[in-house]
């Protein structure tokens, strides 16, 4: 296989704490979309950027049975999602490459626009059998109505956020994941840097590192339990670190500024380590 990956979005599982999660991300300076109600039974809020987005995904009271595949996971990053042009073709291609891809799953959610009109945002996803990517959900998303997601009224953020520039993944065996990504995309797009593997998507880097590398972040690092392969943090490109610092300071969000970045500890952001850079 050989095609250029595009990071579509990163999922933060929030379980039944959707209200609290949305309130916190607004305090972090993100503009969030109104609550979306999936036909699958889950609910979400998005922080929409230029080319990708963060999704806060969970369920409302007593709704946990609607998405059983989410139930085993704690609050935190748990979805690395790439863009698909044609879910049916992609599913067949991945299967032919020896990957455990499932048949596409179709769903939608209503979107109410500023003029009062309501339309359905429609998607198809291609997932993999549980355990394919260890303790991490990796899948593809085809957007039939991208104009209902990437809307200007949702793309301005008080913290200056422009895009997800990097996803940090921690793995017991980084090269195992690297081999999967090389099979899924192209060996030319997966490079080895010592024990690390780097997947270069069109709009972001996915860095797969051994757990020991988290030591460089000190107590800002997330708590990962005993999971072998898990997303640990996001690097957000900001229009201005001064803007980021002002937004975080206004809400008394803990942060560490050094070497051209602002780091928000995972303990202050739903166990998601957030790094802002220009």
Q: Rounded to 5 degrees, what are φ and ψ at 30?
A: -95, 140
pLDDT tens-place string over residues 154-198 = 999 999 999 999 999 999 999 999 999 999 999 999 999 899 999
User: Does 183 share its domain with 265?
Assistant: yes
pTM of the model: 0.97
User: Does 145 share its domain with 184?
Assistant: no
Q: How far is CA 100 from CA 91, 104, 142, 184, in A?
A: 9, 12, 18, 11
pLDDT tens-place string over residues 189-228 = 999 989 999 999 999 999 999 999 999 999 999 999 888 8
| pLDDT at residue 67, as a whole number | 87
Per-residue pLDDT averaged across 86-104, rounded?
96
pLDDT tens-place string over residues 214-266 = 999 999 999 998 888 999 999 999 999 999 999 999 999 999 999 899 999 99
* Statement: residue 62 has pLDDT above 80: no
Choose the final residue of a domain: 99, 128, 154.
Answer: 154
Structure tokens of 121? 């945002």
User: Does 101 share its domain with 57?
Assistant: yes
Q: How many Cβ atoms are within 10 Å of 67's Cβ, its own excluded? A: 17
Burial class (CB in 10 A: 0-12, 13-18, 19+), 64: middle
The two beta strands, 43-48 and 229-238, are: unpaired
Rounded CA separation 269/220 (Å): 10
Q: What is the CATH number of the domain that holds 45?
A: 3.10.180.10
Structure tokens of 57? 């995904």
Question: What's the distance, CA 10 to chain centroid?
Answer: 1
Q: How confident is the model at residue 1 (pLDDT cuts 50, 70, 90)?
A: low
Q: Which helix (H) or strand (E) holds 120?
A: strand 118-126
* Statement: residue 272 has pLDDT above 90: yes
Domain range enclosing 225: 161-277
Q: How many Cβ atoms are within 10 Å of 140's Cβ, its own excluded? A: 24
Q: Does residue 247 lie within any of the structural domains? A: yes
Q: Does residue 175 lie within any of the structural domains? A: yes
* Statement: residue 2 has pLDDT above 80: no
Instruction: Count up the domains in the chain and report the number.
Output: 2
**Residues across the chain:** 278
Q: What is the DSSP letter of 3?
A: -
Q: How far is CA 109 from CA 12, 75, 102, 187, in A?
A: 18, 23, 22, 36
Please choose, from the candidates 211, 201, 165, 202, the residue with its C-alpha nearest in 3D space to the C-alpha of residue 181: 201
């Amino acid at each position: 296989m050989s095609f250029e990956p595009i990071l579509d979005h990163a999922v933060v599982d929030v379980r039944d704490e959707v209200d609290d999660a949305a309130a916190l991300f607004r305090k972090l300076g993100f503009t969030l979309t109104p609550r979306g109600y999936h036909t699958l039974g889950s609910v979400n809020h998005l922080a929409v950027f230029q080319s990708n987005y963060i999704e806060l995904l969970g369920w409302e009271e007593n709704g946990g049975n609607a998405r059983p595949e989410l139930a085993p996971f704690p609050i935190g990053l748990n979805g690395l999602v790439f863009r698909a042009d044609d879910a049916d073709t992609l599913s067949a291609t991945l299967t032919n490459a020896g990957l455990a891809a499932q048949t596409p799953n179709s769903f939608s959610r209503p979107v109410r626009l500023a003029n009062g009109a309501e339309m359905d945002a429609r998607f198809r996803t291609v997932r993999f059998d549980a355990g394919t990517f260890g303790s991490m959900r990796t899948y593809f998303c085809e957007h039939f109505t991208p104009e209902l997601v990437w809307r200007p009224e949702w793309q301005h953020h008080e913290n200056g956020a422009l895009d997800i520039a990097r996803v940090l993944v921690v793995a017991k065996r980084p090269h195992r994941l690297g081999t999967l990504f090389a099979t899924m995309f192209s060996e030319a797009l997966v490079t080895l840097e010592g024990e690390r593997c780097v997947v270069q998507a069109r709009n972001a880097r996915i860095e797969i590192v051994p757990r020991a590398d988290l030591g460089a972040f000190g107590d800002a690092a997330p708590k990962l339990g005993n999971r072998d392969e898990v997303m640990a943090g996001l690097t957000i490109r900001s229009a201005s670190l001064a803007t980021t610092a002002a937004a975080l300071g206004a809400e008394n969000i803990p942060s560490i500024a050094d070497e051209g970045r602002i780091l928000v500890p995972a303990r202050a952001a739903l166990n998601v380590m957030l790094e802002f850079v220009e």
